[in-house]
Amino acid sequence: MSKLWGGRFTKKTDQLVEEYTASIAFDQALAEEDVQGSLAHVTMLGKQGILSADDVDTIKDGLHRVLQRIRRNDLEFSVSDEDIHMNIEKTLIEDIGSVGGKLHTGRSRNDQVATDMHLYLRRRVVEFVQLLAKLQEALVGQAKANLDTILPGYTHLQRAQPILFAHHLMAYVSMFGRDIERLQDSYKRINTLPLGAGALAGTTFPIDRHFVAKQLNFDRVYENSLDAVSDRDFILEFLSDASIIMMHLSRLSEELILWSSTEFRFIELDDAFCTGSSIMPQKKNPDVPELVRGKTGRVYGNLMGLLTVLKSLPLAYNKDMQEDKEGMFDTVKTMQGALQLFAPMIATMKVSKERMRQAVNQDFSNATDIADFLVGKGLPFRQAHEIIGKTVLYCIQEGKYLLDLKLEEFKQFSQLFDERIYEVLQPEQVVNARNVYGGTATVQVSDAIGRAESELALV
Ligand code: ARG
């Protein structure tokens, strides 16, 4: 059989042009969605009396057979049929004969491909919400096991104030919670049906777009046929959401890599998630977080790629838009891999409470608390800050930490000090003193864990 659009042509397509313009190598990933959309379309054509009931039955049977062959992996796609839509239509016509040619009545590949993409992303978004929730679960699990683990919190990667390790992990739970919200919000726009827009202007057939939407579980249809076939915002939104998710994963990756270095030794990733070196026998490398950090780049790239493709495109469909697919598939695959690995990697990591504690005992991260102590005695904060700055400088010169100072030494800096500061300076005290909503005090973090668990139960 010749090309489905061959009528107007007198010459064969150049072989290189066929290869260059074909998308079948990658859009075959849309095969299921394409059949799903066609089944709903042809059912509507029957209901509207545009096709006879017999024709509709024959076409539906044929489409189901195509679907089975797709699932059995027994469909040979050909480059000369360009894309998944024409490959499937051609297979259908080969199977049921010329009645198969009635399927495309009142439809264009332009609204068809857009519909397939909506169906595809709709399913993926639901899967990603689940994967993110799994990761949150793993983080919450580690947080619960580390409600008594204190480590230095950092700003500028310099020791700042002690915090609970659970509090640090729960920050990521919040971040991934926003990612879930963003995906759920984008669902509204993903779940809008373009089919029925035709090539760009609608169709002369008395179709029922709302009936198709209902069959395919779309909440609504596009208001404007030009917009329906030109819009790729929903893919951009997904790629943006994915970029933010990967950015979060990459920040966590960076911390896991730092924490598992000999310099920190705060955590140890399970052997199952690390690899060795071909030359250095002692090595255990955190390849998974490193690769996730690296692959974040390609996910950003896919977003920039599509933004750039769409910039300046006139309405409505342009072949440029075929470039929306590979980046999207790549982002789906890259992010799936990262999220699938992250949940078990977090769940199995070993946390060294002792190393973290040791670090807290050997720093000045409790300095703010003695400043606050002096404020409690009536000193303005700025003056207290200055006094403690001098005290810390003295400690550094003497090779001591604040808890090593004798009360007389403290008193050289202010007569307001008394022996209660030794209690104030204890890491547990420092942590639990931050008893504000969202703070690092044990009661607050344990409340936060409770709230996260009840939200997770809803996902
Ligand atoms: N393979 C095309 C794509 O992915 C399908 C739509 C083609 N439409 C057209 N008028 N050439 O964008």
Does ligand 1 come within 6 angstroms of the Cβ of 59?
no
Task: Identify the three-state secondary structure at position 281.
Answer: coil
Give the closest residue (by CA) to ligand 1 atom 2: 322
- Is 156 designated active site? yes
Q: Which of 39, 34, 14, 13 is nearest to 24 (CA)?
A: 34
pLDDT at residue number 274: 92
| Strand-pair category, 158-164 with 267-268 | unpaired
Our mutation pick for probing the ligand 1 site, out of 104, 110, 111, 235, counting the most ligand atoms within 8 A of Cβ, is: 110
| Ligand 1 in reach of 27 Cβ (< 6 A) | yes
pTM of this structure: 0.95
Residue percentage of the chain with pLDDT more than 90: 95
Pocket test for ligand 1, best of 3, 5, 79, 83 (most atoms within 8 A of CB): 83
Burial 416-442 (b: 16+ CB within 10 A, else e): bbeeebeebbbbeebbbbbeeeebbbb
Identify the residue whose tokens are 């789906």.
Answer: 332
Which residue, by CA, sits nearest to atom 4 of ligand 1? 322
For residue 141, what pLDDT is reported? 98
The ipTM assigned to this model is: 0.97
79 C-alpha to ligand 1 centroid (Å) = 14
Provide the pLDDT for residue 2: 79
The Cβ-side half-sphere exposure at 433, using a 13 Å CA radius, reads 17
Cβ neighbours for 279, distance < 8 A, ≥ 6 positions apart: none
Banded pLDDT at 457 (limits 50, 70, 90) = confident
- The finding on whether 159 has its CB within 6 A of some atom of ligand 1 is no
- C-alpha span between 455 and 450 (Å, rounded): 9
**277 is annotated as an active-site residue:** yes
**Helix, strand, coil shares of the chain as percentages rounded to 5?**
65, 5, 30
Assigned architecture for domain 364-456:
Orthogonal Bundle (1.10)
Residue 25 has a CB neighbour count (10 Å cut-off) of: 12
Q: H-helix or E-strand containing 209? A: helix 209-215
Q: What is the CATH number of domain 110-199+223-355?
A: 1.20.200.10
Q: Which residue has the tokens 């096709």?
A: 51
pLDDT digits (tens, 9 = 90+) for 376-433: 999 999 999 999 999 999 999 999 999 999 999 999 999 999 999 999 999 999 999 9
- Spatial neighbors of 248 by CB under 8 A, at least 6 apart, are 172, 175, 176, 179
- Alpha-carbon distance values, 317 to 80, 157, 387 (Å): 21, 49, 69
Index of the ligand 1 atom closest to the CA of residue 322:
12
pLDDT value of position 1: 59
Mean pLDDT of 440-444: 98
- 156, 278, 312, 454: the catalytic one is 156
Backbone φ, ψ for residue 415 (5° rounding): -75, -10
Q: What is the pLDDT of residue 279?
A: 86
The pLDDT, as a whole number, for residue 389 is 96
- The response to whether residue 110 sits with its C-beta less than 6 Å from ligand 1 reads yes
Distance 112 CA to ligand 1 centre (A): 9
Give the position, in ligand 1's atom list, of the atom nearest the Cα of 27: 4
Domain ranges within the chain, ordered by starting residue:
6-105, 110-199+223-355, 364-456
- Measured from the CB, is residue 58 less than 6 Å from ligand 1? no
Task: Take atom 3 of ligand 1 and give the residue whose Cα is closest.
Answer: 322
- Ligand 1 mean position to 333 CA, how many Å? 23
Ligand 1 neighbourhood includes 316 CB (under 6 angstroms): no
Q: Indicate if ligand 1 lies below 6 Å from the C-beta of 417.
A: no
pLDDT tens profile 63-115? 999 999 999 999 999 999 999 999 999 999 999 999 999 999 999 999 999 99
CA–CA gap between residue 46 and residue 172 (Å, rounded): 51
Q: What backbone phi and psi angles, to 5 degrees, belong to 267? A: -135, 165
The CA distance from 252 to 235, in Å, is 26
d(CA 344, CA 160) in angstroms, rounded, equals 30
CATH superfamily label, 6-105: Fumarase/aspartase (N-terminal domain) (1.10.275.10)
For a pocket test of ligand 1, which of 230, 310, 319, 324 has the largest count of ligand atoms closer than 8 A to its C-beta? 319
Binned at pLDDT 50, 70 and 90, residue 123 comes out as very high
Cis peptide bond N-terminal to 160, omega within 30: no
